[in-house]
Structure 1
Amino acid sequence: MKRNRSYYIILVLILFVVTYSAYAAYQKQKNGPVFLDNHVFQRYNEQWGLWVDLNAEKKSLLEKASEFGILAQEVMEINNLKESDLSRLKRSIFFPYSAEYMRGLQEKELFRETVESPIDQFIWPVLPNHKSRISSRIGRRWNTWHTGLDIAIPKNSVVLAAADGVVEEAGRSGDYGLAVKIYHHDMNHFHTVYGHNQELLVKPGDVVRKGQIIAFSGNTGKSTGPHVHFEVRFHNVYLNPENFLTPYEEGVATSIVGFAD
């Protein structure tokens, strides 16, 4: 009887330790910083690297792969490319970084920005930038209803996923131009939309993380200047994005930290 009681006490203690550890890990995730992709550190398919427009850089895939210390075949595989695709490539492709290249970036003391964001809160879809500003809010505008928040920002700026989710749509979408729609299962089944981009870096079915680059900003669709049109939807009801974000000045103000994840 005493032996059974001892086993019971040990089992209770083990369950307590496991439960407490899980709770502590959740709290750390809930209140921890979110690392933001920028023009040096970018993520795709859980790998670190960089989106590169080979035509703009006037370099071959082999030359750029060699620069990052990886094989051309690795680049082909992560981008689902065939040899026949290379001659007519008109978009950026993702180049993973080798471990050696990553160490070199750390030695140069390059940095990533962070924002403090609870797990159940969206982040602003743009990086801190003194040239960015809110140019239009949700509400009546020009005798129509403006369905989201416009953030004026220079063309080809980084556009970030506001929360973890799965890409539902990515492509040309009428007045939205090149747009991305993300489903956030863990955020009460909300959707977010990012419109008027210059180039999309994700496709339907991609799993994205909060702070991950999903596009380069632009002026496509019905637009009067380069900006990100950001929407929050719940069952196709348009909600005010600012109700789910920190105040603008606070939302884009970040601390600078060393390379970490």
Structure 2
Amino acid sequence: MKRKRSLFSILGAILLVVSFSAFASYQKKKNEPVFLDNQVFQRYGDKWGMWVDFRFEKKSLEAKVQEFGADLEEVHSLNAITEKEKKKLNRPVFIAYGNAYSAKLQESGFYREAVDSQIDQFIWPVLPNNRSRISSRIGRRWNTLHTGVDIAIPKESIVLAAADGVVEISGRSGDYGNTIKIYHHDLNHFHTVYGHNSQLLVKAGDIVKKGQIIAYSGNTGKSTGPHVHFEVRYHNVYLNPENFLTPFEEGVATSMVSFAH
């Protein structure tokens, strides 16, 4: 009997330690700053750098790699660049910054942007500014159900992940055009959907962080102008995204954070 009590006491103590560690880990994650990728500092995987769109870039891949202080073979591997593409690239490629280049950017006054956002909250997939606006909300439209929120924004603007998650779909999807669907296991098992993009930067299976760039906005699929169609779903039930977000018109207050912090 005493042995059983001792065993239960030991198991109870272990459970208490594990529970406390899990809670401490959750609190640490909860209190970490949420970074919003901008035009200078962007992420892919666990690396900071920049997506360079070689549809428009005049320099060669080798020249940009040298400029950023990156490793060419690593860039080839990270972006799955084929032998044919090495001769001529026609898509965005992620190039991680070398330490010296990153430090140079910060010396010039460029930093990462951070925002306060609880772990159980979404953020808008685009940054509210004077060039973006909500053009259509969820509800009945043209005798059909409009299943999300449309955010009018200039073509090729950056599109951000609304929360941490795993990319389930990245590709062409009917009227949605170039679409990304993200599964948020830690956020009530919700899904978010981002439609009508011009270019998709993440692939199915990628783990993404809240505020990470995932696409460039566009006008693909059934669309009357450049915008991001944003949905929140729960078991394929369409929810109003605005119920999980701060009012779009209020904008986002960000702070600048260096890599020294």
Structures share fold, TM-score greater than 0.5: yes
- State how far apart, in whole Å, the 2-side matches of 1:257 and 1:195 are: 29
Deviations 1:202-249, CA, capped at 9 Å, x for gaps? 111111111100000111111111111000011111111111112223
What TM-score do the two structures reach when normalised by structure 1? 0.88
Secondary structure of residue in 2 paired with 1:57: coil
Q: CA deviation at 1:72?
A: 1.8
Give the aligned partner of residue 90 of structure 1.
90
Q: Is the 8 A contact 2:167 2:204 kept in 1?
A: yes
Secondary structure of the structure 1 residue equivalent to 2:232:
strand
Percent identical pairs in the alignment equals: 66
Runs of 4+ in 1 over 4 A off after TM superposition: 14-22
Measured at CA, do residues 18 and 167 of structure 1 come closer, stay the same or move farther in structure 2, by a change above 3 Å? closer
Alpha-carbon distance in structure 2 between the residues aligned to 1:211 and 1:194? 14
In structure 2, C-alpha distance between the alignment counterparts of 1:254 and 1:107, rounded to whole Å:
23
Do structure 1's residue 253 and structure 2's residue 249 form an aligned pair?
no
1:153-164 alignment runs, 5 A limit: 153-164=153-164
For the residue of structure 1 that corresponds to 2:94, the secondary structure is strand
Contact 1:111/1:256 (8 A) holds in 2:
no
Residues 100 and 162 from structure 1, CA distance in 2 versus in 1: closer, same or farther, beyond 3 angstroms? same
Gaps of 5+ in 1: 1-7
Say if 1:244 and 1:97 are closer, same or farther in 2 by CA, change over 3 A.
Answer: same
- Secondary structure in 1 matching 2:56: helix
Aligned residue in 1 for 2:242: 242
The match for 2:174 is 174
Matched, 1:129 2:129: yes
Aligned Cα root-mean-square deviation (Å): 2.3
Structure 2 CA distance for aligned equivalents of residues 71 and 159 of structure 1: 27
Deviation at 1:106, TM superposition (A): 1.5
CA distance in 1, matches of 2:174, 2:193: 13
- The corresponding residue for 2:230 is 230
CA distance in 2, matches of 1:28, 1:56: 41
Answer yes or no: is the 8 Å Cα contact 1:34–1:210 preserved in 2: yes
The answer to whether structure 1 residue 70 and structure 2 residue 70 are counterparts is: yes
> What is the TM-score normalised by the length of structure 2?
0.88
Matched residues, number: 252
- Hey, what does 2:6 align to over in structure 1? none
